[in-house]
Amino acid sequence: METSTRAQHYHFLSWQFDASQDELRAPDSQVAVKLEPQVARLLELFVSTPDQVLSRSTLNEALWPDTIVESNSLYQLLTKLRRVLNDSARQPRFIKTVPKRGYVFIAPVERHQPTSQLNVHTDTEIQRAAGSNPHIRFKKRALMAAIPVVTACFSAIAYFSTVPEPITLPQYEVEDITYELGLEFDVAAHTTLPLLAYVDDFKTLVISDKQGNVTQRLHFDDRVAKPAWHPTKGWLAFWQYQGDGCTLLIVNTHGQQLNQSQAIPCYHIQAPSWQSDTLLIATVRTQAGTLPYQYNIDNNKYISIPLKLNDDEKLITTLQGWDNQTYYLIKDASQHSRLVTLDGKVQMRWSYPVWLIAYDPKHHSMITNDNSKHHNLIATTRDGHEYPIIATPQGIFSSLSVDDEGNIFSAAESWQVNIRDKDNLPIFSSSSHDYLPVTNSLGETAFMSRRTGACEIYLHSHDRVIQLTHHKGSDYVNFVTWSPDNAYILANRETRLLLLDRTGVQKTFTPQLSLPLRHFGWLDTDTLWATDGHEVVIYIKSGQFKHRVAIASDLILYDYQTQNWLIFKDSMIYRTADLAGTFEDEMPLTTLKPQAYHQVTNPRLRDGFLYWQSAWSKTDHIWRLALDGKTQPELLKTQNLLWHYDIAADGTLLIAKMESVEGDIKRLSQKPEAN
C-alpha cells in the first residue's frame, strides 16, 4: 500500500501531524512530540486514507513488509497511537474499529504544505527540564516543558464554538481567606460577582466577599453542604442533610430563602450545577448508586437523567464546562476516570481516580487532583495537555471553585486520625481518612491505611506495626476481618479478595458475582463467603468455588460461633441457619428505627453482641444489639467524622476518628507576568 508524499502536514481536529518529521502537536503549541517511527507510520497510513477501512492484513503488510510479526504487534501500535491522541476504542473520535473488517480513521483530515520548523523537545530534554522543580510532574502527552522560565502556549481545539486566544502557562501564589480555628470547607466562588460561600463547622453557611469579609452567617439545625452560585445572579444553591434525605435550598446574598425542594433519599451529594434560572443538575448517591437528576425550581420536581453507565462504572459528579455544557465525571472498575457529555462522548480521560474537579473559564481547562500521594492540583486542557497548579500546602485539598479571572478557591484540610489502644494511646496515626481496624482475641489489630498514598494493610502486634501489602494502584479496601482461628486476614481491593497471613498476601482472587462486591467473611477456618447484595458465593480459602445462594439483603454477616446468618433487610435484622430457607416468614430478631438502619455499614460480632454503624442527617452512629433477642439496639456513640471503630478483646469500644481537624479556605491567584 502506497501513501502520499511524506512532505505533507496533516490537520485533524485538535492535531497537526508532520509526516516528514514524525512529529505531532496541537495547534499554536510551541512544543511537539516525536512519535516512534512505527507509530508515526501507522498514523500516516490512517490520515492519508481517511474514511477508508484498512484491514489488519493491509496494515501489517504496510508496516512490516515481508516480515512475520507477533499477532498483537498491530494492537500494541494502535494502543500507543490512541494514547497519544487521547482516543477511545469504545467511543472513538479518530480511529474506529470495524468488526471483522479492520480500522477506519473517522476524523476530517486536511492536507497542508509544510511551513516553519517546529520547536521539538525530546522526552529526555523534557525530563531534564523537570528536574529543577520536584513538584512539577510531566506526561509525555502533555507536550510542554514545565520549568518556571519556560512558557507553553496552547489553544482550545475545534470543540469550542469560538476559539480562544493562546494562553501563557499560569503561575500561582497562595493566600489565606479564612484564619479561624475549626473547619471551613465546601467553598464556592461566584463566577463573575465578588461573592464567596463556604461551610463552617458543618451547620453554618457563610457568605463573604472574595477577600474573606463575612456578610452573612446562616445557621441550621442539621448539616449543610456543597454550595453553588448561579453563574450571573446572586443566588446560592446548597444542600441540607435531614434524616435519610437531602433538601436543596436556594437563598439570595442576604440569606433570604428563595426556594426549597422536597427531600430526596440520599447517602451523599455533590454540589449542584446551574443550567438556567430554573433548572439545576443534582448529583445524589443512594444505596442504588450515584444518579444525576434535573431539578426544576418552578414545580419543585426531580427528573432522573438517563446517563448510560456500564455495570462497573460510577458517576462521581457533574459540572458545567466548555460552552456552558453539562459534563459527567465517571470512574470505572480499573480506577480510571473520564469526562463525558450526556450523549456518551468522551471529552477527557485520566488513568487514575479523579474526585476533585472544577472548570477554569479563563484558561478553558479542568482543574483536578493529580495521582500523587498528596493529591496536588493540576490543569488539563481540552486536547489533553497538562500543567501543574500547586502542591498541597498542608493536608489535602477537599473542594474547588474557579471564577472568570482564573482565581482558584479551595479548602485545604488537615487532620490526624488515631487508632487507639485500651489505654487511649494511639497505636497508629496518619493524615489518611480510611481506616478499618479489627482486633482479634489475641489482641492483635489489623487495619488499613493510606499513609503511602495507596490502601495498604498493616498489622499491629507486640507493640510493632508491620506493613503486609505493598500496592501501587488506586484500588480501595472496604473491609478487613480475621479468620476464626486468627491465622489469616481477609480483606479486599475493590472486587478482589485478599487472603493474608502475618507475612503478607497469600492469595488473591475475584469472586464470581454479577454486581460489585458488598461484603465478605468466614464460614469456618477454611471457607469464605462474599455477597453483592443479591447472592452469596462460597469459596475454599484457596480460591476454589463451592456454590452460590440467591438472597437479597442490605447487609449480611455470618456468626461462625453459633453458625447463624444475620441478615439486614427492610429495616429488620433476621437470624437464620439456612440461607436457602424462607427466613422472611420467621420472626425478625429486631426491627430497627430509621436512625439505626440508614446507610448501615461496618458490622462486627463480639461475645454475643452485634455492632454496626449508621448515618442520620450525615452524623455517624455506632449501635450494639445483644443476640439473645431480649433487648433493643443500644446507641453507643454519635459523632461527626467518626470513620470506623473496633472492639477490643475486653469489649472496649475503640474509635478510629479524625482529631485535630483544621480546614481553611485559600485563594490561588495567578502571578502577574514579568515584563
Higher pLDDT, 294 or 4: 294
Which of 335-339, 425-429, 452-456 comes out lowest in average pLDDT?
A: 425-429
Question: Does the structure show a pLDDT above 90 at 487?
Answer: yes
Quick one: pLDDT at residue 515?
A: 85
pLDDT digits 0-9 by tens, 37-61: 788 889 999 999 999 999 988 998 8
Quick one: pLDDT at residue 587?
A: 83
pLDDT digits 0-9 by tens, 539-557: 999 999 999 999 999 999 9
Question: Does the structure show a pLDDT above 70 at 563?
Answer: yes
Question: Does the structure show a pLDDT above 60 at 495?
Answer: yes
Quick one: pLDDT at residue 160?
A: 31
Amino acid, res. 614: S
Cell of 122: 525530546
Higher pLDDT, 236 or 333: 236
Distances (CA, A) of 87 to 14, 39, 54, 350, 476: 12, 14, 18, 12, 27
Cell of 371: 495521582
Q: How confident is the model at residue 604 (pLDDT cuts 50, 70, 90)?
A: very high
Q: Starting at the edge strand that comes first in sequence, how are the strands of the sheet with 346-350 ordered?
A: 314-320, 326-331, 337-340, 346-350
Quick one: pLDDT at residue 117?
A: 36
Q: Please state the rounded mean pLDDT for residues 4-13.
A: 68
Question: Does the structure show a pLDDT above 80 at 158?
Answer: no
Amino acid, res. 38: Q
What's CA 635's distance to the chain center, in Å? 32
pLDDT digits 0-9 by tens, 178-189: 877 678 899 999
* pTM exceeds 0.75 for this model: no
Higher pLDDT, 71 or 194: 194
Question: How many separate helices (H) and strands (E) can be counted in the chain?
Answer: 5, 55
User: How high is the mean pLDDT of the chain?
Assistant: 83
Distance, in Å, from the CA atom of 247 to the CA atom of 292, rounded to the nearest integer, reads 15
Backbone angles phi, psi at 476, to 5 degrees: -90, 150
Quick one: pLDDT at residue 431?
A: 55
pLDDT digits 0-9 by tens, 352-378: 999 999 999 999 999 999 988 778 899
pLDDT digits 0-9 by tens, 279-290: 999 999 998 889
Distance, in Å, from the CA atom of 542 to the CA atom of 544, rounded to the nearest integer, reads 6
